[in-house]
Structures are given as C-alpha cells and as structure tokens.
Structure 1
C-alpha cells in the first residue's frame, strides 16, 4: 500500500475549520471540536497534521488530572515540568507562546490536538484548564472525539462558547473511496470494484484500508488484464473485508 496521504472530504472540512479560525470574530473562540464514529480517519488526519505542522498531539487518558495533562503537554514540547500547579501552568503558557511565535514567523498555524477528548469533556477541572490555556496563550486547541463532546460541553457554557467550529467526520462517498483507492492501492481498481468497496465498507477508512490490502494481495498475483484495472469479475469470490457490525467476511459477488 502506498504511504500517500489522501485529502478526503473530512480532511478538507477540518482545514476549512482552521481557515475559519483565522477570520474569527471573537478572540476567545480558540477551540475546535472534531467528532465522528470510529474508523473515519480522525486520528490519522490529526496526527499527520500535527506532525507536518510541528504542532502538538496528545492522547487524553480516562484518569487524566490537570497536573498530568500539563506534564504531558510539557513533555511533548521537551520542556521540564516543574513542581506546583501554578509553576506548571506558567511553564505551559511559556511553551505555547514560544511555539506560536515560531510558527507565525514562517507563516504557519500552531495548534494543540487533544485526541480521545471524550475522556475529559465531562470533567470540569480539565475543561476549565483547556479553556484557560487556550484563552491566555491564544493557541487553538482541537478536541477530537467520537460524538460525546458536543453534548458534554452543554454543561460548561463558558467553554462551549469558546468553540469556533464543530467538524463532524462522515463516511466517504463513492467518489471519495475511488480517490482513496487511486492514491493508496498499488493495483489499479476498476470503477465497478471501487463502487463495491464503497458499499461494502460503508465509506469507513478503516474498512477501505482492509479492502486495499486484500485487493493488493490478489491483484499483485493476478494483474488486471484490462485498462480499467481490477474488476469485480476478476475478484469474484475473493475476500474483500470483514463486516464491522457482524465480523462476517464480505466477498466479491460472482464466485462459485
């Protein structure tokens, strides 16, 4: 499988939210919420964005405390974590300010991504800390979860009011799956098979990747003869992927 990064519609929606942040009206609106079901590429996209932009990526933990969150933030920035809550908070602000200045010098956006943020979105102390860090530093924090963040933030209107954009990741359509296959699959895929991958996968990135592995496994041994690429007829009866709800194998129709 090619290591190519695919600019899916979900990626473009996230980029749009960042662009909107640049033109925000209220200076305190420095939070973005990204949510959606598992398997839609949220972690892949946000990790890559953070890595390419020299931004910070942290994965929230169920038993995080404010002290622990600040420690991990400082560790990501390779800064020592002092003892004492106030000293640690001030060190975080210093780190964020330095990274933001560095990014601005080269025309980049500096953001902090908090993945698995469902774990912290119902905890007042943690959400207040995130809001304070964003407010005081002026750095955007992106909260990534699986659909509970928006509902949880209703309990914290001061934090919810800081959310500039809500981005919901959705399954890919046929066009998106076709583009995904073209970019990543080492075997050319015909439109009929691409359409079946879209249907069988439900448009979920995780299942699309599984389908690509099986297509490559078959197609590299049995290269397609036509210019359109590997067809459903070529792969009839072959395993494509496993159904995410039942775990049952999904094979390409037409086999004996």
Structure 2
C-alpha cells in the first residue's frame, strides 16, 4: 500500500488507492485548490482561524467533491491532543461545512454509510483506518501527545470492540505530517513517547549530536508501530513520507508559520 498525490477539479490531495478500491472515499488535503486569500491561501479547511465561514464552506465543498465525499455529512471534533476516540452517528454532523466541531475528542469512528469523518492537522499526523469486511471507518488526529498516548492503537481497539473488526482486515493510511527532518524538540517529547511506548520508543528518538538538549522525533514511525502492535498487518499500513514543514508550497505548518495560517483536513466516508 502507498499514498499518492492526486488532482481532481483543480484540487490537490493525497489518498490511498487500496482504500478507495475498498469503497472508502477519503483524502488528505493540501493548501491547493481553494478560494481563500492570504494568509489562508487557498484551500483553508479550518474554522476559527480568521477566514470567512463561507469561504471555508466552499473549500470543503471543493475538497469533498474532489475526493468523492459529501460535504453535507461532515462530523468534526474540537481537538484537544488526547487519545479519545468517539462514536459518530447521524445527528452528529455539523450544520454547514464551514462550522467547527464542539465535542472534545481527537478521533472519530463510525459504521454509518455516507457519514464523513473529519480531523484537522498542520504538522500533526493524520491517520485513517478502514475495515472493508465490517464496513467501518475511523479517523484520528495524532499530535505528539496523542502519539505518545497511542491514539492510533485506540482507534484500532475501538473498531475491534465496537464492531468486531479483526486487525488483519484493517487498512491504515498515515498521511502528510511533520517528518523526522523537521520535528526538532526538547526532552518533553521523547520523555512522553517513552512513558507511553516504553523501550519501543527509542527507535523513533534521535539525539542531535551538536545539541545534546534537543532531539529529532519520528512521529510517523511511532504511529506505525502503535498500529502494528494493535494487530494491523505491516503491509496494510501506508505512510506518506512528505513533510508538511518542508513543503510550504503544499501544506501549512504550525512549526513554520505559527497561528496565522490555514488548516489541513483529512476526511473519510463509507460509500
């Protein structure tokens, strides 16, 4: 499995062909193909960032149309860097595409056909899960805190507990996010990973020789490890290697731009 870049109707996004073929409309957005002006240019999908709600709604319509999802069925969270994955059903969707989420959680799971799960990032790691057998979808936002807490594994566990999914049937896609090259941190991030992952964390922590107080951390690799530990087969996990901090032409990066920026979105819908 792999994640590839696609363009439809002028909207640039990333997706996994195997998930698409299994019947799950989905995509990881870029900043290309929307209507918002600077500093949100152009496909800003984040409400509450200062952009006009009408423009955010139009951007969602364009993005969802490109990936084959329905913008009128979006479910969103108020993300708090937790490991909480909540059940989503009809009645949870926002009233219009440009509206923000209110329920505090960092993951969404559903077995409802047609419901579109949505999470947001701007360097954090977006993870999509789907089960073609049980017809279940899950989307999680994994910042470094969520990664340390194992939110990707929590998503797999909820799929098993709530729907009877089997790890070997689940497909996973780890989307664009900050990569090891640009994620430079103090000891709090490595310490958090060690607390959550134990000895398994060490392979994702790389001390910077010229600065003993800082580290490069591989969040994508850590999330892949959580998924495998939860029972997802290694060949069922696709990882996008593109770094959001490196590619300012394609993505917003909180590390690079701070708060005056747009937000990326990741959406999955069971067809």
Could you say which structure has the higher strand fraction? 2
Query: Structure 1 length as normaliser, TM-score?
Result: 0.35
Query: Structure 2 length as normaliser, TM-score?
Result: 0.33
Larger Cα Rg: Structure 1 or Structure 2? 1
